[in-house]
Structure 1
């Protein structure tokens, strides 16, 4: 069974005592992706759910759109290589990863890279959720974060409905955790209607763009957002909710997806 952690002997110091113990730490693993025989990228990740990671990463990079674009995929964990065959030609990396300033939805927001401008999309879902459901989902999300609880060294990302968590992934890289979600969705041909993403890390512009590429209109995080992420969320029609902790949360964008009718409002 995939684990993603290793044991390490250490000395634990607490107040005036020192104790020799064995601890569990997150495993860090380099994975190089080869596409049609050419090296495309190397990422550092947790060595679990690697197929989902590769599929999701290729989708967010605009290399594939669905499983139909993949002729084959194989992972060699012994050597740290993923071999992908696809019928689509590889992009020119010099252009693909070039910083590119452009508009978003006719407005003046900046994408960092050309491939983000090509693959980000405005989310059209009319999904709504109650604040108490947001709190419940975050509690369920954190309760299921077993790898984080054991190591304190990974990020978590999940897809949920109003009723509960449907799938959850962990990785040392916050972007990798989201890519695993996306890869799972593509691999299993999941519909994104009425879905919400729950995330353990900061809502950055890169995180927001990955959510937009998945086509999901609501993102819940226990952490803070950045200003560029919120600008993109406004333009891409995504509800960004941060600091979801207990009964508290901050709704930053597109509050129409959060059912506020039963709440008291103050000026």
Structure 2
């Protein structure tokens, strides 16, 4: 019977966030055979702020400190990375508890963005208690007339494909990468949830004192409304997705001054919002 598989010492360790499992390969005209396979981890991750439970989401238990910072920042709970004094990660029998020690001045923001204690990896809005909480009031970003190039966007997309070790091993995760204005990917984060991957990326950016406004976010998923909202909250002026955007995502990108592109594959992509940000708008698909 298929089951968890112990990693042999002579084999290379699997990517962080994955586990080996023995599976049965079978087909209608193929003899079944057992072999080892890698699967992505998806576990409950509970966030606690100053000892108070706030939300539980399903996530990949890797880069959880980045996740704590990014989620807190894009949710408007903290104002900067300096508002978090420390993060402790507790591995419990049912999942992980991320204990966040933050400035007491942020307690009110925590109450305003309070969620229920259950969430899903595929939906960034699970647990929101009313329609008024769906969209945050965010200022529009400064315009970026002619600041980006089509070549840089295509280069970043091409690089992202090879910088997803967990996805390459399991086929089950999303990635969010940040590239500089020349299209050079500087960091990538992965997770089973696309919102979580972007939060991890943003958390890394603010912890590293990198300037999110000086680059491009590239995501391996569709561009939903909340992905645009998270990019805007972090000050990222361009969001590029390998899949399609939604109508609400396009509307929000229009209003918050974010270049939003989708179907980014090979050297082609489709710009839905603010094509004037490209230095060569005539070359856009």
Say whether the fold is shared (TM-score over 0.5): yes
Write the mapping of 1:243-262 to structure 2, written as runs, cut at 5 A: 243-260=263-280
Q: Which runs of 5+ in 1 are unaligned?
A: 102-111
Task: Write the distance in 2 (CA, Å) between the matches of 1:132 and 1:244.
Answer: 12
- Which deviations, in whole Å up to 9, do the C-alpha atoms of 1:114-143 show, x marking residues without a partner? xx424x331115262222322221111111
Partner of 1:108: none
**Counterparts of 1:183 and 1:260, CA distance in 2:** 31
Task: Say if 1:263 and 1:20 are closer, same or farther in 2 by CA, change over 3 A.
Answer: same
Please, which moves more after superposition, 122-131 or 181-190?
122-131
Equivalence for 1:105: none
Aligned mates of 2:256, 2:51 — CA distance in 1: 35
CA RMSD of aligned residues (A): 2.3
| TM-score using structure 2 length | 0.82
Q: Displaced runs of 4+ in structure 1, greater than 3 A?
A: 94-98, 261-265
CA offset digits 1:155-196 (Å, max 9, x no partner)? 000110124100000000100001001111221121123210
Counting matched residue pairs gives 252
Say whether 1:170 aligns with 2:183.
no
TM-score w.r.t. length of structure 1: 0.87
The match for 2:18 is: 5
Q: Deviations over 1:18-62 (max 9, x none)?
A: 221110000112111111111111111111100000111111111
Structure 2 unaligned runs (5+)?
1-12, 117-126
Whole-angstrom CA distance in 2 between matches of 1:187 and 1:261: 34
Among candidates 142, 145, 150, match of residue 124 of structure 1 = 142
Look up the match of 1:83: 99
Indicate whether 1:205 and 2:218 are aligned.
Answer: no
Change in Cα spacing, 1:261 to 1:155, as seen in structure 2 (3 Å) is closer
